[in-house]
Chains A and B, each alone.
Chain A
Amino acid sequence: MKTLFVKAVRDFKAQKWQFLAVTFLVFLGVALFSGLYSSYLNIEATYKKFYHETNFEDLGIEFNPAPKELVKKVKAISGVKAVVGRLTAYATMDVEGRGVQLKLVSIPDENSKVNSVYLVEGVYPQRNEVLILKKFADLNRISAGETIHIEVNGKSYALRVSGTAYSPEYVLIAERTNVLISPKDYGILFVPYNVMEEITGMKGKITELHVSIYDKDFADEILNRVKGIFQPYGLKNFYKQEEQPGYKLLKLDLQGFEHIAFMFPSLLLIIAAFAVYILLSRMVMEQIGIIAVIRALGYSKYSIILHYLMHSLIIAVIGTTAGVFAGHYISAGMTSAYIDVLNLPYYVTGIYPGILAISIAAGFVTPLAAGIFTAKRAAEIEPAIAMRGYIIAYRAINIEFLAKFSILTRVAVKNVFRNPKRTLYTLLGIAMGVVLIATSLAFIDSINEMFYVQFDKIQTFDYKVECSDVSAVKRLPDVREAYPIVETWIRFERSGISKSSVLVGLPGQDLYSIYDLHGKRHFPPPEGMIIPQYIAENLSISDGEVVKAFTDVGIVKFRAYSLPQPLMPVCYANLEELKKAGFKPNEVIVKGGRESDLKKLGRVVSLKKLEETTREMMGLMYSFFAFSVLFGASLAFAEIFNTTTINILERRREIATLRMLGYTVREIAASLYIETFLLGLIGLVMGFPMAVLTLKGFEIMYRSEMFRMPFVMYPSTYAITAAVILLTLAVSLLPAIKYIARMEIEKVTKETG
């Protein structure tokens, strides 16, 4: 067996580029799985640790101003561990001539057991001092000791920054009606309660309550009792921990990350398995005579299986070992990059034995499972072949229609059809290359599509102003169009399941439109409401059914119509209908106008800025997909290079014969190019549907309640993929042609003997 091992190593060396290409695929699959999945676990461990350390709330409730003393009543409820009541307000501030939004939050006591503030630098604020969210401070170069000037309802306040901090509520900043918030343009200030009383003019009042409890099983019961206490003042919103906007956004984002961490490496490993199968199958086909001799010498079938599995094992050992090491570094880099986007003071990294075990198992199982089929087939080869020799039975192909062409052209076309197995292997190799390149490029297409759908189809206005006076907006210079809308929260509850969303009331206009997943425009129904498909499915709401929902104006009843929507699905209704139900327009959408003028009327959201912010926030995703494109292309190259060179190598006898007959290298090369491009075209036709199916798989895996990525493949992607594939085919023929030019015909002939 020692010599058979030597043979396996020599086989590896003899086809080192082919073996290295498939080993690279296994390496990448293992590295990306262990790297990405470990970083997913790192991030999860980080935020869990942070939430635990900072006593993240179990329940939250928002209401109209109510006496602060009610906190005691909540504290007295059985099962409540800690409570904090607070005031919040919105403000603006100029940073280097740029207007930024601020949310002011009354800071809990230093020893508070709910939503504790994690002080990074400086001290807890005293009178006229504030703590500022660390990332916002860093991005805007604000440091402790500095005085900032903020504006609330047209009144200016000077506050000294006593330090920077993080908070469990703002790991990811999200509001109920807005989840795309730039950490640079939206800051959180933690302000002493007495300062907040002064700023808001609500002395002795609170507008929010945050609760931690002993047992989460009693969350609903306790929430109901808390709601009962504040009902008389008018409830605005309430949630359990899993519905807290920042927490929910983080969870869903991580869920998407987890799916990608699983899907992408799995795709690579499936392709690696195919590649190993193709490589070994071809090797066995080429070594039929050798296998027969080894069997005739007295080696058992079992030895043959072990021998060919040894090839898989070499791939597994190299690919997995390198993959696990690379995975460790990918994990550290990815965790750091991800945490950088979040408002977290530190990150936790770990080595996860489970992930390590799965990575190693996947790295070994992939080539071994692919290899076992070929190894078993090799073991079935009859030793008698050693005596009588082996001739591949080619099919007779009728190509009379090519009679006008040269014999080499005819041979090229015949080659495509005469050995179906070999052709199939080649086509599979090309098709996999297509899948890798096309899906990687389609990720970029999908991000561009997302921006197109959001900012060129759904929302085409320039600004959204928090203001109820549309006439005041219309009077401003350069405002071309302005429409009042309602934008508020809505919560559905059924059979113990609760789903919250955003409710948008639209008048007849073209600045804010409703589109379904397939790009078809819809309008709010004259009566009733469009609801996101996931809510209808989760709460079993059928079309036209009358449902109840909690809103700002209390419980409302309406007919619901489900619609699958791209990106962030929300509820839509006719503005007039909402007005009848008691809603008042609270925002104005504007085309034209100037931000500085609009700011005087209320908080302004600039769509241009929002798009920039979104692109900035998608930076990490962009890098990931750009990385995918790069790897997709290089893998496709490796895969196709592999397939093509094996194709030539296994026909070296035939090519040597052509050379002996007097055909020039150029003539043979032309014949090979015709054959290869013909295969390339068929491979493209096979590969594109496979790529679309893969993309569909990604779409399903990446889908969440808050976000539905429109996975698309632009025509340019088809064209680029086809060009890259054909170019790769052309380039991968070059070494083979070089080999043919240098081929020592005599030696090759001897090999055949």
Chain B
Amino acid sequence: MKTILRFEDVWKVYKMGKVDVVALRGVNISVEEGEFVVVLGPSGSGKTTMLNIAGGIDRPTKGKVFFRNLEISSLDESELTMYRRNHVGFVFQFFNLIPTLTAKENVMLSAELVERPRDVDEVLEIVGLGRRANHLPTEMSGGEQQRVAIARALVKNPDIILCDEPTGNLDFETGKRVLRVMRDINREEERTFLLVTHNAVIARMADKVIYFRDGKVVRIEENEQPAEPEELSW
């Protein structure tokens, strides 16, 4: 398998007034093509900062980040935008759908960014929302909204989908359904997923688990036999 994402001694320091907050301290990780990677760690451990840098919405203070052979840590603002546009899909904890657009329009918003997007209706079918396409986010449940968010990420045909606590705002059953959609897409389309969570149970379904604490990677585990989402319980 080829490496799709690589962090080499990545540091991130935020200035909070007069205080320097070190969010990442020399992180070294790699994600392979088609892998389902779960990043696990308590709040404030640096996992979301790592995800932001991987998605090109933040830059490291020090160190290098590669997407395949492209060093994204040295890209300028507009190059990062193009990187996000062409290679990355995001799924957020709070869904972040545009409230004035329907499910289909939310997905179209993303589709219009790339030259060869996937069929919007087909993607909505994949996430099981073919019949809810013309509903506004306020007319949908949390699970449905999150599936729209997954469709929005998927429609661009991204090389990697970055998920920040995708089940954090969902109940147990809905969370499992959303994870099932992700796992299916990962397996059937060999699409890479990098999922950040503090829910240790989710780690059981990952191909690889990266443990974060105090801005550092404390452990990386390969999962020989990942569990199916339905087997999870929290």
Contacts and interface: CB of A to CB of B under 8 A. Distances in A.
A1 interface: yes
A298 B85 contact: yes
A3 B57 contact: no
B138 A747 contact: yes
A182 B98 CA distance: 66
A298 B92 contact: no
Interface string B20-60: 00000000000000000000000000001001100101100
Interface string A386-398: 1111000000000
Contacts of B78: 300-301
A693 interface: no
A579 B1 CA distance: 117
A387 B52 contact: yes
Contact of A382 (B57, B88, B137): B57
Interface stretch (A36-44, A286-294, A446-454, A592-600): A286-294
A295 B55 CA distance: 11
B112 A6 contact: no
Interface residues of B, number: 36
Contacts of A295: 57, 81
A641 B58 CA distance: 40
A10 interface: yes
Interface in A364-415: 382-384, 386-389
A696 B176 CA distance: 70
B99 A751 contact: yes
A4 interface: yes
A254 B204 CA distance: 85
Contact of B48 (A293, A300, A387): A387
A73 interface: no
Given A3-B105, A3-B108, A10-B100, A298 B81 contact: yes
Interface string B85-97: 1101010101110
A7 interface: yes
A289 B110 CA distance: 16
Given A297-B109, A383-B57, A747-B138, A14 B90 contact: no
Nearest to A753: B94
A222 B83 CA distance: 82
A634 to B, nearest CB: 29
Contacts of B98: 7, 290, 293-294
A388 B57 CA distance: 11
Contacts of A11: 100
A389 B164 CA distance: 12
A301 B96 contact: no
B82 A750 contact: no
Contact of A300 (B58, B81, B142): B81
Interface string B112-141: 110000000000000000000000011000
A751 B138 contact: yes
B92 A293 contact: yes
A13 B112 CA distance: 23
Interface residues on A, range: 20 to 34
B199 interface: no
Nearest to B141: A750
Nearest to A302: B78
A90 interface: no
Contact of B101 (A3, A298, A382, A383): A3
A2 B108 contact: yes
B173 interface: no
Contacts of A386: 57, 90, 92, 96
Given A3-B101, A6-B101, A753-B95, A297 B138 contact: no
B77 interface: yes
B169 interface: yes
A383 B51 CA distance: 12
A1 B112 contact: yes
Contact of B84 (A1, A289, A296): A296
B123 to A, nearest CB: 14
Contacts of A292: 96
B109 A298 contact: no
Given A1-B112, A4-B109, A387-B48, A14 B100 contact: yes
Contact of B51 (A7, A387, A751): A387
Interface in B209-234: none
Contacts of A718: none
Interface in A13-39: 13-14
Nearest to A389: B94
- Name, among A11, A14, A293, the residue most crowded by chain B CB atoms within 10 Å (CB to CB): A293
- Name, among A11, A299, A389, the residue most crowded by chain B CB atoms within 10 Å (CB to CB): A299
Interface string A270-298: 00000000000000000001101111111
B6 interface: no
Contact of A290 (B86, B96, B110): B96
Interface string A666-707: 000000000000000000000000000000000000000000
A753 B169 contact: yes
B59 to A, nearest CB: 10
Contact of A297 (B84, B100, B105): B84
Contacts of A389: 94
- Name, among B48, B77, B84, B98, the residue most crowded by chain A CB atoms within 10 Å (CB to CB): B98
Contact of B90 (A2, A7, A296, A388): A296
Given A10-B100, A11-B100, A296-B84, A387 B110 contact: no
A255 B108 CA distance: 56
A289 B96 contact: yes
- Name, among A293, A298, A299, the residue most crowded by chain B CB atoms within 10 Å (CB to CB): A298
Contacts of A3: 101, 105, 108-109, 112
B208 interface: no
A387 to B, nearest CB: 5
A3 B98 CA distance: 11
Contact of B86 (A6, A289, A298, A299): A298
B55 to A, nearest CB: 7
Contacts of A300: 78, 81
Nearest to B86: A298
A753 B105 CA distance: 19
Interface string B50-84: 01100101100000000000000000011001101
B152 interface: yes
Given A1-B112, A3-B105, A383-B57, A297 B152 contact: yes
A7 B78 CA distance: 23
A10 B109 CA distance: 14
Interface string A710-753: 00000000000000000000000000000000000001001101
A4 B138 CA distance: 19
A751 to B, nearest CB: 6
Interface string A294-323: 111111110000000000000000000000
The 7 closest A-B pairs by CB, nearest first: A298-B85, A10-B100, A383-B57, A298-B84, A3-B109, A293-B96, A3-B108
22 contacts: A4-B109, A6-B101, A7-B98, A7-B105, A10-B101, A13-B100, A14-B100, A295-B81, A296-B57, A297-B90, A297-B152, A298-B88, A382-B58, A383-B57, A384-B57, A386-B90, A386-B96, A387-B48, A387-B92, A747-B138, A750-B138, A753-B95
Given A290-B98, A296-B57, 17 more contacts: A4-B109, A10-B100, A14-B100, A289-B94, A290-B99, A293-B96, A297-B110, A298-B82, A382-B58, A383-B84, A386-B57, A386-B90, A386-B92, A387-B57, A747-B138, A750-B138, A753-B95
Interface of B: 48, 51-52, 55, 57-58, 77-78, 81-82, 84-86, 88, 90, 92, 94-96, 98-101, 105, 108-110, 112-113, 137-138, 142, 152, 156, 164, 169
Interface of A: 1-4, 6-7, 10-11, 13-14, 289-290, 292-301, 382-384, 386-389, 747, 750-751, 753
